[in-house]
Amino acid sequence: MEKMNHAFEKVKMLVGMDVEDEESEAAATGENNSSFAFMDDFNRQCTLSTKQRLYGFAICLSAGLFCTLLSMLVFFNPIKFGITFTFGNLLSLGSIPNRPKKVHNKLLTLIAIILEFGALIWYSLSYIPFARTMVSKVMVACFDTEF
C-alpha cells in the first residue's frame, strides 16, 4: 500500500497537483484513503465539453480503424500484425465517449450481459466444425412458428 501511495504522489506531482495540501486536507477531514481522493480530484479537473468528447471520439475511432486496417497489410509478419491490431482495437475501445452521469438501468445492464454471453458462446462455437450451422438449425427448428 505504501508503494501505491508513493506512486500516486509521483503522478500528482507530474500533473501539477500540490501533494502537501491534499494530505493536510485529508488529515483534517479524517480521510485515510488518498487514492480515492486523488481519482476524484483527477476526474473533476479532467472534464471535457460535449464537443471535445465528440472530437476525441471521432479521432480515436478513425485512428483505431486505420490501425486495424493497416494491420491487414502486415498480416504475414506476426509481430507487426499483433502490435498494430492490438493498438487499433485499444484505440477503438478508448473512443467510446464517457458519459458525465452514469446510467443505472438494470434492464439495459441485463440485456447487455445476455448479449455478451451469447456473443461469447457464438464465438466459441466457431472452433468446432459445423457447430454454428448445427445450432442455427436447432434454433430455427425450436422457435419456428409455422407448422
Q: What is the pLDDT of residue 99?
A: 57
What are the average pLDDT values for consecutive 10-residue runs of the chain, which has 147 residues? Answer: 71 62 49 62 71 85 90 88 88 72 71 84 87 91 80
- DSSP structure class, residue 97: P
- Terminal CA-to-CA distance of the chain, rounded, Å? 66
Can you read off the three cell numbers belonging to residue 105? 438501468
For cell 484505440, the residue is: 91
- DSSP structure class, residue 96: S
Q: What is the pLDDT of residue 22?
A: 47
Q: What is the pLDDT of residue 106?
A: 76
Task: Kindly tell me the number of DSSP H helices and DSSP E strands found in the chain.
Answer: 7, 0
Q: What is the pLDDT of residue 115?
A: 87
Chain centroid to Cα 28, Å, comes to 36
The set of residues, in sequence order, having a beta carbon less than 8 Å from that of 14 and lying 6+ positions away, is none
